[in-house]
């Protein structure tokens, strides 16, 4: 325990936006080392109309978006 937090030994912090890349790495330190072109991520979302953009998305932003 560190300051009231449980931190696993040799643990990694996952960058939640990196999940949208669809490939590894997804931990924050490794993401920082990637070139800018590989760090840019298109975020899939669900519009207030219910439409998912892009339609083939497997993971979407967890909040509705106005289009």
pLDDT in tens, 13-29: 788 888 888 888 888 88
Domain membership of residue 31 (yes or no) is: yes
Domain membership of residue 1 (yes or no) is: no
pLDDT band at 61 (very low <50, low <70, confident <90, very high): confident
pLDDT in tens, 39-60: 888 889 998 888 999 999 888 8
Number of structural domains the chain divides into: 1
Query: Read out DSSP for 1-67?
Result: -BTTB---TT---B-GGGGGGSSS--BHHHHHHS-HHHH--PPPEEBTTS-EESTT-SS--SS-B--
Domain membership of residue 5 (yes or no) is: no
pLDDT of residue 52: 92
Domain membership of residue 50 (yes or no) is: yes
What domain range is 58 assigned to? 12-67
Domain membership of residue 24 (yes or no) is: yes
pLDDT of residue 24: 85
Domain membership of residue 6 (yes or no) is: no
């Amino acid at each position: 325990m560190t300051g009231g937090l449980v931190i696993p030994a040799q643990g990694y912090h996952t960058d939640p936006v990196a999940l949208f890349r669809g490939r590894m790495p997804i931990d924050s330190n490794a993401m920082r080392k990637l070139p800018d072109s590989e760090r840019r991520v298109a975020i899939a979302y669900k519009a207030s109309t219910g439409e998912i953009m892009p339609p083939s998305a497997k993971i979407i932003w967890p909040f509705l978006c106005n289009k």
